[in-house]
Structure 1
Amino acid sequence: MEPQPGPGTGPNRHDVSVVTLICRAFGLSDASEITLEHIHRYVTERRRAEERTHDLRDRFRPSIPRQRAADDAA
C-alpha cells in the first residue's frame, strides 16, 4: 500500500498507509480484519470531512481585492 498523501510536508511528517488509517479509525488490530464495508465507510467519511473543510475554508477565507492593473478601466 502506498503512503497516504497529506498536507504535512515538513520535517515532522509521517508516512502512514491507508490501511493503517482504516485500522486506527475502526479499532482493528491488523489489515486482515478490514472488510469492504470498512473501506466504503472510511472513504465516505473522508469525503464528507473534506467537503466540510472546503466549505469552512471558503467561508472564512479573507476577501482580498484584486489590484487593478494600469490599463484597467476605472
Structure 2
Amino acid sequence: MSFLGHRLSTDGKLALETHVLDAQIPTTPHHLRVIFVKKIRNNTFFKDLESLKHQISLDMLKAKSILKSQ
C-alpha cells in the first residue's frame, strides 16, 4: 500500500511512502519495485495523528481486499 503526495497532516512535504503488507523483509533492499494497482482514496487533511492512523488502518484493509481479488 502506497501514499504519493504532499503530507497534508504533518509536514506538507512531497513523499512516497510504501507499506509492505503481510510480508517480512529481512534486510532493507537497495532497490524496490512498487506497482500501483488501484487508487483507494484522495489525499486528505486529518485534524490529529490518531485520525490519520485510524484511516491508514482502514486503507490497509481495503488494500488487502483489492489484492485478494486480483
Higher relative contact order (CA 8 A, sep 6+): 2
More helix by share: 1
Q: Same fold (TM over 0.5)?
A: no
Which interval holds the TM-score relative to the shorter structure?
0.3 to 0.5
